[in-house]
Structure 1
Amino acid sequence: MPVIDQLAQPDPTRRRPRRTAAGRPPWMDRPSPTMQSLKVVAIAAIVVVMLYPFLYVIMFSFADGRSVGSGQLWPTSFSTSAYESIFAGGVVTRSLLVTAGITVVGTLLSLVFTSMLAYGLTRTRQVPFSKAAMVMVLCTMFFGAGIIPNYLLVKQLGLLDSYWALILPGLISAFNMIVMRNFFMELPQELFESARIDGASEFRIFASIVLPLSKAVLAVIALFYAVGYWNSFFNALLYINDTTKWPIQLVLNQYVVQSNAMTDLQAPDRPAPPAQTVQMAIVVVATLPILVVYPFAQRFFTKGVLTGAIKG
């Protein structure tokens, strides 16, 4: 028998996937009631394990002194004195405004510079030394200068005790830039060629074609940057000595993790609530804004993650 005919014949020793009576693979069939019940129980247990700590923090942030002093696992009497005290003190309110400003400005600037760099590195023929620049960007993912050289650089640039010290050192993330560059490379090149024939410049192509087609990945990268800026406290710990410029995460670290005295957080004309409720209230205030924003960006996040996985 010729070799081609031998290859065309089915291999009798090859194991075929098991199929059900309906002719479908087992994983496509509807699970049995017992299996469905087990899945519901497992998912419910995971939800309880994940949500209980967060609900515990919220409940104890509203607990009054009697519930905290009695050592109850779940408070039975509630009060808003912790929130009234920290917001009347002014420190938490000011730090929230600082963090919000850093997050908004930093995210916008990071998106602008990351998208411009990513698009420039896709134009290997138009941009000279683009491959060398790509290698330099990749090197930053594996090699870092260290804390002391970074501090000396920020100091020499005159950025100590400046909000720019919290934005400029992390303005461009190499990982985010690579994700955006790969997305740009998947866009139809015919659109760019037709735009060049019509006389459009590279900046016009970038602003009028690339960015409108990249809303999904821009939303994903914006979410990454926003979460990073909101949760960042180490740069503030290194570069910010003025306590009036502390972001909320540094306040959270100093007064909850380090357990520093919280007298300056609270209003002087109010009775001091229990320290545990104040700590829990700061945790809620520092966490809640990003949790509120995430559901609105989730649909863009899902679309941006899936885009590029399917080849058309």
Structure 2
Amino acid sequence: MRTSIGRKGFIGANVAILSLLSFITAYPVLYVLFASLSNPADFLSHQGVLLKPAGFSLAAYKLVFENRMIMSGYLNTIIVVVAGVTTNIIMTSLGAYFLSRKGVLWRNPIMMMIVFTMFFGGGLVPYYLTVTGIGLQNTLLALIIPTAVSTFNLILMRTSFMGIPDEITESATMDGASHLTVLFKIVLPLSMPVVAVMVLYYGVGHWNAWFNAMLFIRDRSLYPLQLVLREILVVNNVDAMLAGTDSFDKGLVSETLKYSVIIVATVPILALYPFLQKYFVKGMMIGALKG
């Protein structure tokens, strides 16, 4: 088939516009990556668009991986992500299964109360008093238990469970399966796309969380990675990482050091997306089919 001049122009314009938008979207990430790999002196003297590292140096990354706070922050964040996502999936699936079953007493009123929490909350002070009152302050549990269930994710998983034919669960129940058996051996295996979406949502949420840690964690050895990152980028506390560096070099290295910390803190969670991408769209569509 011959393509008209107008259609060629339309396709060319689309390619140009989408390429420009892609570059605008990707450039901030590329800028941070190139800056982290740049020689500090060359980077500070560089002006204009940065399309490649200004010089090349891994000095900033060496300082990052030699810093104990970064490494302990990584360990604490991994613990919170693994334990938190496991807790989230278990609690959310239990709630979603209960609210998706027909004939459950007061199902609709309970669902309305849960949805109510999406729009109205008690506020920061009652939240702080509740968490400290049950003895979670200065523990990693303060970053896991208060966020055990997300209302939005609960509704999404409940909608997915409601799409499973009742005949499947009823036949298992008639064969003597308990509700937990039905949930963990039938319902969840049939809902892996939405479970993958939950893992992604909860995992990214725990990885990026810093506010709860700032409220409840006082012991610096329990700081998660994002709180360490906040100290470096916002509070500008890099002196501990630059100990032993000449005062002249501190000002140079501190700039590329901030960019390298961002890359180190971002790459692991970005690596999760390719493994869950094939489930993401399918899981979102399944969860959006019914109300």
For structure 2, the 5+ residue unaligned runs are: none
Aligned: 1:37 with 2:23: no
Alignment of structure 1 residues 203-218 onto 2, 5 Å = 203-218=180-195
C-alpha distance in structure 1 between counterparts of 2:199 and 2:132, whole Å: 28
C-alpha distance in structure 1 between counterparts of 2:6 and 2:139, whole Å: 59
Aligned to 1:111: 89
Change (3 A) 1:310 1:153: closer
Q: Deviations over 1:167-217 (max 9, x none)?
A: 111110000000100111111111122122222222221122101101010
Aligned to 2:161: 184
Aligned to 1:16: none
Structure with a larger share of its residues in helix: 2
Q: How many pairs are equivalent?
A: 281
C-alpha distance in structure 1 between counterparts of 2:169 and 2:153, whole Å: 23
Change (3 A) 1:302 1:59: same
Change (3 A) 1:309 1:88: closer
C-alpha distance in structure 1 between counterparts of 2:5 and 2:110, whole Å: 52
Q: Deviations over 1:42-90 (max 9, x none)?
A: 1110111011111110111111222133133434311100010121121
Aligned to 1:244: 221
For structure 1, the 5+ residue unaligned runs are: 1-28
TM normalised by structure 1 equals 0.84
TM normalised by structure 2 equals 0.90
C-alpha distance in structure 2 between counterparts of 1:150 and 1:92, whole Å: 29
Aligned to 2:211: 234
1:308: how far off?
5.8
Q: Secondary structure at the match of 2:130?
A: helix
Aligned: 1:101 with 2:76: no
Aligned to 1:50: 25
Q: 1:262 is matched by which residue type in structure 2?
A: V
Q: Return the match for 2:59 from 75, 81, 84.
A: 81
Aligned to 1:265: 241
Aligned to 1:202: 179
Aligned to 1:6: none
Aligned to 1:155: 132
Identical-residue share of aligned pairs (%): 38
Q: Whose Rg is larger?
A: 1
User: Where do 4+ consecutive residues of structure 1 move more than 6 Å?
Assistant: none
What is the CA RMSD across the aligned residues, in angstroms?
2.1
C-alpha distance in structure 1 between counterparts of 2:65 and 2:168, whole Å: 53
Change (3 A) 1:76 1:203: closer
CA contact (8 A) 2:89 2:199 kept: yes
Q: 2:83 is matched by which residue type in structure 1?
A: V
